Amino acid sequence: MPVWFMRQAGRALPEYRQARGEGRFLDAIADPALCAEITLQPVRRYGVDAAVLFSDIVVPLAAIGFGVEIVPGTGPVVESPFRRAADLSRLRGLEAEADIPYVIETVRLLVRELEVPLIGFAGAPYTLASYLIEGGPSRDYALTKSLMHADPDLWMALMDRLADISLAFLAAQVGAGASAVQLFDSWAGGLSAADYERFVMPASRKVLSGLAGAGVPRIHFGVGNGELLGLMGEAGADVVGVDWRVPLAEARRRIGPGRAVQGNLDPALCLAPWDVVAGATRRVLADAGGQPGHVFNLGHGVLPATDPDILTRVVDLVHAEGRAGGAP
């Protein structure tokens, strides 16, 4: 069974902390040799079956000059948030060759070097919009949801612009050699299914269907998305990411036939002693039921306090006992 981990590159690894140093995150992202090295670190360390491009969902927004900074310990912070129709003019299209040549170069370096597939990724329009509107991380997404409902025309125009940016970001990665893509709608789980379907799904569908002919599997992921699993599949995913709240057998029922599932070990459990982690890993394998079309992963990203040796043991256990790779 294939296994990789969301946020497998990052602060859980001492070699990451050493390579990154103290510099600005967005400066590190603009250094292809450094990004390639950081992308390779977890492949060497854990023996995972895929590499994940080292970048961030806000990279294309920073690249078009929206004014986004990544603040350590906080996440993306937007200096002047999106509030009114005039702000649409600050969201021009992404010209990948000119705006993010360093991402393209990183992908090219990696595909030359790697013996496992490289997964590219982008933020989905809703999750990107939440940062642009809230100005940073949020608990309730109150400004985002109120703009969505108070001015649906402006909301849909914003989603459409962000869909074009996400699609251009993914297409550039695929064009440079990435062999799969993941669309992160990390915060969509805060929406009702009705709001998701009306206000978010059309834009995510635009991104995923824009890649339908690209010949790469499309993974669609969100946290707390148990009520949205069916819709997130229908938006055009080949693989639906499932967090730890819904067992995989139930997730498969909600998603329906013809799509694979990815997940769903709770990343917080990886801080427990090994016998706990081993039991939880086996439970995920059992829930997946030995059917084809399961990619083992965590239910969200690796937490910085995780002991890397635990993740190496998870990979070994999945490889030894997992029996359900391949197409659904």
Least separation in angstroms between residue 300's CB and ligand CP3 is 6
| Rounded Cα gap, residues 183 and 204, in angstroms | 8
Active site residue 316: no
Of 19, 25, 90, 319, the one binding ligand CP3 (CB under 6 A) is 25
Q: How many CB atoms sit inside 10 A of residue 135's CB?
A: 18
What separation in angstroms does the CA of 266 have from each of 145, 215, 312?
28, 31, 16
The partner residues of 294 in beta bridges, in order of sequence, read 261
The two three-digit tokens of residue 42, written as one number:
């977890």
Catalytic residue, candidates 7, 205, 282, 313: 7
Active site residue 131: yes
| Rounded Cα gap, residues 168 and 64, in angstroms | 12
The partner residues of 298 in beta bridges, in order of sequence, read 265
What separation in angstroms does the CA of 195 have from each of 62, 152, 155, 241, 289?
28, 11, 12, 20, 32
The two three-digit tokens of residue 92, written as one number:
């021009």
Window contacting ligand CP3 (CB under 6 A); options: 69-77, 81-89, 101-109, 231-239: 69-77
Window contacting ligand CP3 (CB under 6 A); options: 53-61, 88-96, 109-117, 160-168: 53-61
Interaction between residue 52 and ligand CP3 (CB under 6 A): yes
Window contacting ligand CP3 (CB under 6 A); options: 49-57, 83-91, 144-152, 285-293: 49-57
Active site residue 11: yes
Active site residue 45: no
Interaction between residue 9 and ligand CP3 (CB under 6 A): yes
| Rounded Cα gap, residues 59 and 51, in angstroms | 19
What number of chain residues touch ligand CP3 (CB under 6 A)? 23
Interaction between residue 299 and ligand CP3 (CB under 6 A): no
Q: Angle at the Cα of 96 (from 64 to 147), degrees rounded to 5?
A: 40
Interaction between residue 184 and ligand CP3 (CB under 6 A): yes
Q: Is the CB of residue 190 less than 8 Å from the CB of residue 224?
A: yes
Interaction between residue 70 and ligand CP3 (CB under 6 A): yes
DSSP secondary structure string, 206-259? HHHHHTGGG-S-EEEE-TT-GGGHHHHHHTT-SEEE--TTS-HHHHHHHH-TT-
Interaction between residue 262 and ligand CP3 (CB under 6 A): no
Active site residue 56: yes
Phi, psi (degrees; rounded to nearest 5) at 70: -100, 115
Window contacting ligand CP3 (CB under 6 A); options: 9-17, 102-110, 197-205, 282-290: 9-17
Catalytic residue, candidates 46, 126, 131, 141: 131
Of 7, 198, 245, 319, the one binding ligand CP3 (CB under 6 A) is 7
Catalytic residue, candidates 45, 46, 56, 126: 56
Interaction between residue 56 and ligand CP3 (CB under 6 A): yes
Q: Is the CB of residue 12 less than 8 Å from the CB of residue 305?
A: yes
Residue ranges in 105-124 that form contacts with ligand CP3 under rule CB under 6 A: 121
DSSP state of 305: T
Least separation in angstroms between residue 290's CB and ligand CP3 is 28
Q: Which residues are catalytic, by number?
A: 7, 11, 20, 56, 131
Binding site for ligand CP3 (CB under 6 A): 6-11, 20, 25, 52, 54, 56-57, 70, 72-76, 121, 184, 186, 300-301
